[in-house]
Structure 1
Amino acid sequence: MIQIRPETNADLAAITSINQAAFGRIDEADSVNTLRQASTTISLVAELDAQIVGHILFSPVQYDQAPSRIKIWGLGPLAVLPSHQRTGIGAALVKAGLEACRQAAIQALVVLGDPAYYQRFGFRPAASWHLRCHYPVPAEVFMAMELVVGTLVDLDGTISYHPAFDGV
């Protein structure tokens, strides 16, 4: 049975390995380590048979027009060991992460990713709220979700991720 829980210091090497294996490079793992040191994060792991097999990270993003009272965070990276992909572990991490974000009073989330994957959790094109990503990405892969209904209404601006993502 999959157990989703907050990361601990004992998990850090496994998290690095999972991100490197899932993405085939070290960049995402490096961004996770940088974000962990630079800001508050929500970082969860999936454990199966006493082995860490997945990881998800949420961290603050900047919105160039948002009042400081609005808490918008980014989801990513989400990583599952290749041998355990397509088994529901990623979905379990996303669902647990969304709940952890609600508990932390985060009002909205953004993600860069596959629309077919993330829309099933309630993400939709960020352009629906007139939000743009500061990275030059196709509009359909930049999505948002309100955790508090109405948070993104009447906003119009650009979301900037932490510089740790610049090399990813």
Structure 2
Amino acid sequence: MKVLIRQENRNDYKSVFELIEKAFKNQEYSDHKEQFLVERLRKSEVFIPQLSIVAEVDGQIVGHILFTKLQIVNELSVFESLTLAPVSVLPEFQGKEIGSKLILYGHEQAERLGYKSVILLGHEDYYPRFGYQRCEKYNIKMPFDVPAENCMVVPLVKDGLKEVYGKIVYPDVFFE
């Protein structure tokens, strides 16, 4: 199976909306509104077009990933970072490494654009294979109560998290 990974474009929006809806339909830890979050994020100041990425198989969009801007703030500094939310793969294509390809490609593109880290809320058994570690290791804290094992961060470059600590500040668009 040949998978094409590329930047999303406006013509993909409807397919991506339906893909996300299907991907999260039966997920236990979902509000089933991820597709609406992606729509809001695309219209916000934290959207980075190069980091809205799709996977295609035989001309069909089967996966999507989105990285958007966020900040890590402490009493002295504000650090720019990214958040990965969401990664979506059509149910019939799950388990075929499409999510992995999207994550790795997204990391490469983010690093190329100058970003140094990515933060996410996700499954503690899935994301460590991509270098994600608990945020608490870096004294990075979520702004809300969630299990520590689900709060993860990955440096995209050597020393990408050096001297970075504080509270994550999600853009308001995440809570609309």
| Gap runs ≥5 in structure 2 | 26-30
Match of 2:21 in 1: 20
Match of 2:77 in 1: 67
How far apart are residue 26 of structure 1 and its match? 4.7
Distance 1:4 1:113 in 2: 22
Distance 1:36 1:72 in 2: 17
Which residue of 139, 142, 146 maps to 1:130? Answer: 139
Which residue of 62, 78, 89 maps to 2:87? Answer: 78
Give deviations 1:80-131, integer Å, cap 9, x for gaps. 0111111111011001101010111001110110121110001100111000
Distance 1:72 1:38 in 2: 16
Distance 1:133 1:77 in 2: 17
Relative to structure 1, the CA distance from residue 20 to residue 164 in structure 2 (aligned partners, 3 Å threshold; closer, same or farther) is: farther
How far apart are residue 147 of structure 1 and its match? 1.2
Match of 2:28 in 1: none
Which residue of 152, 165, 168 maps to 2:174? Answer: 165
Match of 1:57 in 2: 66
Relative to structure 1, the CA distance from residue 54 to residue 29 in structure 2 (aligned partners, 3 Å threshold; closer, same or farther) is: same
How far apart are residue 155 of structure 1 and its match? 3.0
Identity score, percent: 33
How far apart are residue 135 of structure 1 and its match? 2.4
Match of 1:103 in 2: 112
Distance 1:156 1:137 in 2: 18
How far apart are residue 10 of structure 1 and its match? 0.5
Distance 1:144 1:130 in 2: 11
Root-mean-square deviation (Å): 1.6
Instruction: Answer 1 or 2: which has greater helix percent.
Output: 1
TM-score where L is the length of structure 2: 0.88
How far apart are residue 157 of structure 1 and its match? 1.2
Distance 1:98 1:151 in 2: 13
Match of 2:3 in 1: 2
How far apart are residue 162 of structure 1 and its match? 2.3
Distance 1:90 1:27 in 2: 19
Which residue of 103, 123, 140 maps to 1:94? Answer: 103
Answer yes or no: is the 8 Å Cα contact 2:72–2:165 preserved in 1: no
Match of 1:38 in 2: 44
Match of 1:113 in 2: 122
